[in-house]
Amino acid sequence: MILIAYTYLFEYLREMLFVKEIKKKYITQRKNTFRDIEYNSYKNLKLIIFDVDDTLTGFFQKFDENTKKIIKKLSQKYQVVILTNSTKGREEEIKKEFDKTNIFVKGMADKPMKHSFQFILEKFDISPENTMMVGDNPFADMWGAYRVNIRHRILIEPLSSVDKNIKETFFLFRILRGFERKLFIKK
């Protein structure tokens, strides 16, 4: 796992060295939270992929009712996918929250590797041109989506840093996150 992470970090750094513009390119838009995205304004949007932890919920937290309502409503108009690098257990938990909906949940996604993104695009037979990725992680979510040409790559602020009702992430993750955002987001 660590080896994979380093391989991808290396690939990222290499791209950054040779294509300085990449930092500018791989995030198409920034918003405060997933609630601030005007989904209706994206023409031909068919598929929305959401990260979970610190995007829709706090880290390993349950979904609040309002969030569930928003996501379910979106799923009436778009194909909605919840894609997380988290465990199988977390995947099952989320599936239970969204049973009797057409929302597709996938855990152990290995973002920013391409295979889970590709799996979803193929499963629903939707072009990356008609797809949006929403997440708080510039490396896993944004760069991952960029690598498979997902058109709209929307970076949001970590939910626990903007929503007082959300429990803060474990401090080690917070430190890592700060470092990641420094490294991967162009000022």
Binding site for Mg ion (CB under 5 A): 51, 53-55, 136-137
Q: For residues 130 and 138, which CB has a smaller minimum distance to Mg ion in the complex?
A: 138
Nearest distance, CB of residue 120 and Mg ion, angstroms: 17
Q: Rounded CA gap, 52 and 86, in Å?
A: 9
DSSP bridge partners of 135:
155
Nearest distance, CB of residue 21 and Mg ion, angstroms: 25
Nearest distance, CB of residue 44 and Mg ion, angstroms: 26
CA distances from 144 to 49, 167, 168 (A): 12, 27, 25
Handedness of CA 168, 136, 91, 172 (dihedral sign): negative
Q: For residues 151 and 181, which CB has a smaller minimum distance to Mg ion in the complex?
A: 181
Rounded to the nearest 10°, the torsion over CA 39, 143, 102, 41 is 10
Q: For residues 79 and 169, which CB has a smaller minimum distance to Mg ion in the complex?
A: 169
Nearest distance, CB of residue 34 and Mg ion, angstroms: 11
Nearest distance, CB of residue 51 and Mg ion, angstroms: 4
- Asked if residues 143 and 150 have their Cβ atoms less than 8 Å apart, the reply is no
Q: For residues 55 and 160, which CB has a smaller minimum distance to Mg ion in the complex?
A: 55
Rounded to the nearest 10°, the torsion over CA 44, 151, 96, 88 is 160
Q: For residues 80 and 130, which CB has a smaller minimum distance to Mg ion in the complex?
A: 80
Q: For residues 28 and 161, which CB has a smaller minimum distance to Mg ion in the complex?
A: 161
CA atoms within 13 A on the CB side of 182: 6
Question: How many angstroms from the chain centroid is the CA of residue 130?
Answer: 16
Nearest distance, CB of residue 54 and Mg ion, angstroms: 4
